[in-house]
Structures are given as C-alpha cells and as structure tokens.
Amino acid sequence: MSTPTTTDKVPTRAWLPTMLTLAAIWGCSFLFISVGVRELPPLYLALGRVTAGAIVLLVFLAIKRESLPRDRRLWAHSFVVGAVGSAIPWTLFGYGEERIPSLLAGIWNGITPLVVLPIAVLIFRTELFSLQRGLGLVVGFVGMLVVLGAWNVSGGADLTGQILCMLAAVCYGIAVPYQKRFLAGSSISGTALSATLLLCAMLQLAIVAPLVTRQAPPAPWSLSIEVLGSVLALGALGSGIAFVLSMRNIRLIGASRSAMVTYLMPIFSILVGVIVLREHITWYQPVGGLVVLLGVAISQGVFNFRTKPKPVVGTPEAVSP
C-alpha cells in the first residue's frame, strides 16, 4: 500500500540548491515576459517560449541518447499538464503583464502553494491536511485580498491584469499536484518528461495562437534583440532547464513542498523589476505578498504548531512519488 509523501528523510542539501536556482530563473521570467509582450502578442510569446524550451530539451535527449516516451496514457496526461501548467498560464501572464508591472505578476505567482494544497489534498490525494495548513490557507487568502487592494477596487486595466495573473497562478496550482499524481511516479527521466510536456504545449499554442490573434507570427528578424533574447531566456532557462529541475524536486519532496520555491521568486521578480525596468507599485501590494508568503510558511510547517497531519476522511491514501 502506498503512503503519503514524506520529506524528513530527504536532506536539505539534496533539494535546496535546486530550489534557489529555480527561484532565480522563474523570478526573472516575469521581466522577460514584460519585455517580450512589447512586440509579441502573449500567445506568440508563449509559443516561442515552449518552442525554444522544447528544442533545448530535445538536444539534451539526443546527447544523452534518450527517447521520448511511447506510453499513450503518459502522453494524454502530459497533454493536460502542458495546457494547464504551461500554455494557459504563460499566456495569461503575458496578457496580465500588458496591464500591470512584472514585479506585481511575480507577487501573484506566490499564491501557487495556497492553490496546490487544497487541490492536492481533496482532489488528487497526494498530500495530507492539518489544522495548521488550514490556518495557513486563511492567512494566505487575506494576503491575496491585500495584494488586490479589495477595499479600493475600481476596475480597469490594473484589476484585469491582476486577475489574469491570479488565474495563471491557479493554473499552476492545479498542474503541480496533477503532475505529481499522474506523471512524477513514472520511470521516464525528467528531461524526457519535460520535453513531452513542452511539445504538447507547443502543439496547443501553434493551433490556438493564429486563430485567436488572427495574424501570422512575426518574423524573428523583425524583432528587437531584447525581445529575441527574452524569448530565448524564457525557453531555454524558464521552460527547458527549469522544467527538469522542477520535476526533480517534485519527485524528491512532493508537490506541496516543492511549490515553496514561490517564497523566493517574488524577491527576484521585485529586484529585477525595480532595478532593470524601474517599476513602481503601491505599498499594500508587497505587504500583501508578505502576508501570502506568511500563509504559505504556516501551511508548509515552517512554524511548528505541533499539529499532526490527518488524512481526509473517506479518501484513499496519497500516492508516493
């Protein structure tokens, strides 16, 4: 019988450097998105990102002499994760960053663990629940309202952009436990599995982007060096190498705890947004982001309240990685 994922037996040195690297790559991705949407429609920016990432991973596979999986069921699950974990959220962040600063998009990404936990517990049954985690969810929800400025909502582009980025983070929150439940336990290497996800997302975006934008993709030589560099950085780093690192951490420490990378991502997104793009935000948005991260910390057991996780009544035990 399988048992819930435990992380006590995994030494910190096995996953912390990977998490720090992921935080830096993904935290800076919001800057690259902000630069990319200056000349590219968000759908084509996302398509360029997954294409570049897929090419990088296919090269890795060729060097390692590995092949893509042949299991149809695995491809079917990859098609779902490719949509919910890549194609849709990357497009939403692009549309969102047409309306709000990149550092604010990075803050909204911090709600991912708050979405991961209830979905992992109630739907995919890959995590356990406790009163402490419930308290963390409540605190995190309050933080979300503060980031949104719920007392001062007046609509407009800013509100629309924030909602789009929030929905993108929700997509991540669905994709992480789904990936843990149906893909992370497979014998396929992280590189091959990540390449499969990106190829599925590439196919989806290649079909949808021309239909929605009603225009052909711009020629690469018509784009500025900054935009081309942003697409390549998003693909090679944020979608290629980072996918492999993320899959490694999910297998090592589970879906919910691997999502703790969002503790550090807002730090990088805020720093590069302020220093490189000279962006500005209102006082309550970073404050709300800190409240969100506090909720995440509580839910992940950073503060030991001595509450023991209990399986959800009437549900089967979680699946181990």
Residue 14 has pLDDT above 50, yes or no: yes
Q: Which of 2-11, 51-60, 248-257, 307-316 has the lowest mean pLDDT?
A: 307-316
pLDDT for 105 equals: 92
- Please, what is the average pLDDT of the chain? 84
pLDDT for 242 equals: 86
Q: What is the mean pLDDT of residues 101-121?
A: 85
Q: What tens digit of pLDDT does each residue of 43-53 get?
A: 999 999 999 99
Q: What tens digit of pLDDT does each residue of 23-32 get?
A: 899 899 999 9
pLDDT for 43 equals: 97
Q: Which of 30-44, 175-189, 209-223, 243-257 has the lowest mean pLDDT?
A: 243-257
pLDDT for 52 equals: 95
The model's confidence at residue 75, banded by pLDDT at 50, 70 and 90, is: very high
Higher pLDDT, 316 or 264: 264
pLDDT for 154 equals: 60
pLDDT for 231 equals: 95
Inter-helix orientation angle 156-182/131-148, to 10°: 150
pLDDT for 318 equals: 28
Round the CA-based radius of gyration of the chain to a whole number and report it: 19
Higher pLDDT, 221 or 258: 221
pLDDT for 72 equals: 93
pLDDT for 156 equals: 63
Residue 9 has pLDDT above 50, yes or no: yes
Q: Which of 76-85, 87-96, 247-256 has the lowest mean pLDDT?
A: 247-256
Q: What tens digit of pLDDT does each residue of 137-183 get?
A: 889 889 888 887 776 766 566 889 999 999 999 998 899 888 888 88
Q: What is the pTM of this model?
A: 0.83
pLDDT for 267 equals: 84
